[in-house]
Amino acid sequence: MAYYTKEGLDKLEDELEHLTNVERLSISQQIAEARDKGDLSENAEYHAAKDAQGLLELKIAKLQEEIRQARVIDESKMDTSKVLLLSTVTVKNLKNGATMAYTLVPQNETDLKAGKISVNSPIAQGLLGKITGDQAEIEIPAGKINLEIIEISR
């Protein structure tokens, strides 16, 4: 079982719809075109399209299973007094004074460009359970960083 935000589950469902309605049709057309070229035993295009079809069907089956087992996290019931999954945390680097905001998300929804970090990352692990005003010394690959929690929101 995997946990998702509503947005994350919608993204998975959109991907599944694209694979089943667009990609599946495209591969079927490729197979039909290759089949029209004659002898299938020596037709590399036909075999490549059939292989692609098999991989696509496997991907579709995996996505369907992932969606069936997905559980959506109810953000309205989340506590904002401390850092938890789905918290947006504004932190200040105590060494250089820089402030950053991170949203802690399930690992499968990580998007660094959008400021969404995995709840399993070292920074998130160092912030979990902390409250506004707390400081955290966090071990990252580049060494240790000291962060102060400025704000916690949803």
Residue 56 has pLDDT above 90, yes or no: yes
- CA dist., res. 92 & res. 146, Å (int): 8
Lowest mean pLDDT segment, chosen from 17-21, 39-43, 119-123, 124-128: 39-43
Q: According to the model, what pLDDT value does residue 22 have?
A: 95
Helix (H) or strand (E) run with residue 92 in it = strand 88-93
Q: According to the model, what pLDDT value does residue 38 have?
A: 74
What's the first-to-final CA gap in the chain, in angstroms? 23
In CATH, 75-153 is 3.40.50.720: no
Q: How confident is the model over 72-115, as pLDDT tens digits? A: 877 676 777 899 888 999 999 999 999 999 999 988 889 999 99
- CA dist., res. 38 & res. 54, Å (int): 22
Q: How confident is the model over 115-152, as pLDDT tens digits? A: 999 999 999 999 999 999 999 999 988 889 999 999 99
- CA dist., res. 45 & res. 39, Å (int): 11
Sketch the domain layout of the chain as residue ranges: 2-72, 75-153
Lowest mean pLDDT segment, chosen from 29-38, 51-60, 141-150: 29-38
Q: According to the model, what pLDDT value does residue 1 have?
A: 67
Provide the CATH number for the domain formed by 2-72 in this structure.
Answer: 1.10.287.180
Both tokens of residue 9?
A: 């589950």
